[in-house]
Chains A and B, each alone.
Chain A
Amino acid sequence: MAFVSTRDLNAVLTTRLAAGDPPEVSILPNPGFMHELADSRKLVPLHTVLDMNRIRRDYASSWLDLGTHHRKLYAIFYKATSKGTIWYSPKNFRAKGYSVPKTWEEMLALSDKIVSQGGTPWVIAAESGAATGWPLTDWIEIIVLNTSGPDIYDRWAAHEIPWTAPAIRRGFETLGRIVHTPKYVYGGPTGVLATNFINGAYVPYTSPPGAYMNYLGGFAQTFIKRHYPNFEPGEDYALFPFPTIEPEHAGGITGGADVIVLTKDTPGARSLIQYLSTAKAQEIWAKKGGFIASNKNVKLDVYPDVIARQMALQLTNATVFRFDGSDLMPAKVSDAFWKAALEYVNDPAKLDKILKSVEEVASDAYGKGKGG
């Protein structure tokens, strides 16, 4: 099997599909792209490939819904990630007598306490090369899910409510409550815009700690483990779930997963995708770490450490799970969303203008019905 990896998937895959030379199996970063491709009939529907009875036993309906386009399954999901995770150092918390906050108010109170003791509560790192801004939109998405609930969230992702709606505005402003409070964030708003998200993940573990908390998806564990190979999971670093903002919408988590689609129908590609969908295949990777399975029959004890098990539980037990909203939007809109978040951090006074300009992009992109 020849594996081609690229940092510019859109360009590579678009070109190869247009040239009539598609790879057999493609791994996409988001279901938005899957819908675009399925719409232009570039994908092979999986009901002819997989044993659908087994699939329905192995996967929660939320995962199958995510992979479905016009009532046909086109994708299975791999490497699931929880984005309901705030990273911290239990050692540092213990040294200062801080306890893990359960609500947004407790989290702000803790932040104030850290500031009053001369520390910096947060690191928020938005820089990510050509994709700069996504760590901020992750924040806004989980805030919207936890303040306004899954229905509003779904309507937002499908552009059934405008970007200027109060729920979305509140999402930005709630993030602003942290980013724009003096001394709350490592480097202030400029630090947010200029710090790379991987480097940012290390900041809570420097001595003295550069910050105490970092909201970043579950994949942060990979960076922390690589950078601090001697760290004890759950002791030197750990995670706590995103706090409750509105009690009626408590416990909603966002997340992501890699999307595996069949771009060329060959016997080899069929058996690969059949194999990848099984619990047995996913257990192999889960055992190695940095991987949470979407297949619900993967046993919890295969995960290598307490953190991975905590995330797997979070993903299977979540009352509400929603795919990363910007990954569901047309590329053009999620691009505009990233940019809007950067501009908002840079200058919160422009929020009205910023939201209006995303709304313009969205009306244009969704209006065409073809995702961009």
Chain B
Amino acid sequence: MGSALFFLTVYLIYPILNTAYISFLGNGSEEFTGLSNYWYVFTNADMLAALKNNLLWLLLFTSTTVSLGLVIAFLTDRVRYEAGAKALIFLPMAISFVAAGVIWRFMFEFRPAGVPQIGLLNAAMDSLPGLEPVAWLVNPRVNTFALIGVGIWVWTGFCMVILSAGLKSIPIGILEAARIDGASEWRIFRSIIVPMMGTTILVVATTMVIIVLKVFDIVYVMTNGNLGTEVIANRMYKEMFNYHHFGRASAIAIILLLAVIPAIVFNLRRFRAQEAMQ
């Protein structure tokens, strides 16, 4: 216990307190500047754009990964090739975000119309009549969605695995009784599976929230936040390593931490409740 507390203090508590302290200091961490770093975070135009994008990520990424994961878990549950199908969906998890970003940069690669396309998506668009190649990472109407798509590609498999385990823990008798009573599969999914898996779904969703709030690698590798794709964590990186403004970077870090805390508390409570049941 004592040594655990020691390591927790050195590696977690001290850095958090120190970051909080630095967030009230200026760019070189020399003079006290009050709340000015926090003021900057909530008024600067780039930061506001990043906050808006993080909200979009939060809504779209979380809802899509969880619902897709659930649907895939359900659809593959009773098919012969279940293991193979799930392995394919889970595979991107084995790839780092940076590698995924690099791979998807090739997928999104754009060449002007009339020049042979080398990106898969634009090659497909090119082969269909009436469609023009799209600059996925440049066009401000689609670029954030393209990045969120990459995130979804990576994390859906994780949601699927956890949700699939939850699905399998539903007693088979309940499902069979429903089927004997003549319930359709859709009805079973809606009225039995989703409510019975409520807790699991919430835990997976909060885990996704924690992950999405920290989203960095994909944006850094693929667009570096240009043309309206900025996110908070990339902003933090820039303030820290490009602009050497430790105060602002720390303020952003503290705000990210505060945003993640409710999700962590929720997950811990659920975890404890489950432990207590067993």
Contacts and interface: CB of A to CB of B under 8 A. Distances in A.
A372 B138 contact: no
A204 interface: no
A372 B245 contact: yes
B224 A129 contact: yes
A201 interface: no
A53 interface: no
Contact of B243 (A8, A194, A210, A372): A372
B138 A10 contact: no
A132 B27 contact: no
A365 B110 CA distance: 35
A342 interface: yes
B238 interface: yes
A14 B244 contact: yes
A40 B30 CA distance: 12
Given A130-B224, A133-B226, A194 B115 contact: no
Interface in B192-229: 220-221, 223-224, 226-227
Contact of A190 (B135, B223, B243, B244): B135
B243 A193 contact: no
Given A11-B241, A372-B245, A40 B138 contact: no
B111 interface: yes
Given A130-B220, A194-B138, A342 B227 contact: yes
B244 A368 contact: no
B243 A331 contact: yes
A23 interface: no
B112 interface: yes
A40 B110 contact: no
Interface string B41-66: 00001000000000000000000000
B137 interface: yes
Interface string A356-372: 01001000010010111
A332 interface: yes
Contacts of B26: 368
B139 interface: yes
Contacts, number: 70
A335 interface: yes
Contacts of B140: 346
Contacts of A370: 27-28
A207 to B, nearest CB: 13
Contact of B112 (A186, A330, A357): A186
Interface residues of B, number: 26
Contact of A342 (B113, B226, B241, B242): B226
Contact of A368 (B27, B45, B241): B27
Given A129-B224, A342-B227, A357-B45, A210 B244 contact: no
Contacts of B111: 187, 195
Contacts of B226: 132-133, 339, 342
B135 A332 contact: no
Interface in A331-362: 331-332, 335, 339, 342-343, 346, 357, 360
A186 B114 CA distance: 11
Interface string A194-238: 110000000000000010000000000000000000000000000
A190 B138 contact: yes
B242 A194 contact: no
A14 B241 contact: yes
Interface string B240-258: 0111110000000000000
A191 B244 contact: no
Contact of A210 (B115, B138, B221): B115
Contacts of A14: 241, 244
B28 A194 contact: no
Interface string B95-139: 000000000000000111101000000000000000000010111
Give me the 9 closest cross-chain CB pairs, A-B, nearest first: A187-B112, A332-B243, A11-B241, A194-B135, A372-B243, A194-B110, A193-B138, A130-B224, A191-B112
Given A190-B135, A193-B138, 4 more contacts: A129-B221, A330-B243, A365-B243, A372-B243
21 contacts: A10-B241, A11-B241, A14-B244, A129-B221, A130-B220, A131-B224, A186-B112, A187-B112, A190-B135, A190-B138, A193-B138, A194-B110, A194-B138, A195-B111, A346-B138, A357-B45, A360-B45, A368-B27, A370-B28, A372-B243, A372-B244
Interface of A: 8, 10-11, 14, 36, 40, 129-133, 186-188, 190-191, 193-195, 210, 330-332, 335, 339, 342-343, 346, 357, 360, 365, 368, 370-372
